[in-house]
Structure 1
Amino acid sequence: MNTSAYKIESSQPIVSTLLRGGIRSGATLANRELAVALAAKSLTSPPGGEIRVVHIPSGEVVFRKTGESRVFDA
């Protein structure tokens, strides 16, 4: 059974100082809060690209960040 319900994605490479190996676009996590926290603290290379957290079963974007702006969907 696959318990990974949230996917962090971007069309550009994702850079994160929180994880030693960085975050690959398409990385999946079981915990929504962890996925959003990692995405919120990450940047794209080059800077300014969009990072999204997607709920895999529904396809709903639950978090979206472009550059330095952060938008939470309720």
Structure 2
Amino acid sequence: MDDLEEWKNLRESLNVVGLSTEEQLNLFKIISIILHIGNIAVQSDRSDVAYIHTGTENESLANLEQVFHLLGLPNLEEF
């Protein structure tokens, strides 16, 4: 079975159990948020203060921006 067929089966199954399109979208948003949070690298310094690691590729910041977007929060600069 290919990815498209599995996607169709998943959506059909969610319809069968009674999830509306909006509820399915919210479910996918929650899963996406969890996955993005898992990609954020957090470090601490000697004073036990945690901060988001900002490497050269800024992957952590990009993931944090996606989390903010999916949660409907203001941009990082405005936060």
TM-score of the pair, normalised by structure 1: 0.24
Higher strand content, 1 or 2? 1
Q: Which has the larger radius of gyration?
A: 2
Task: Using structure 2 for the length normalisation, give the TM-score.
Answer: 0.24
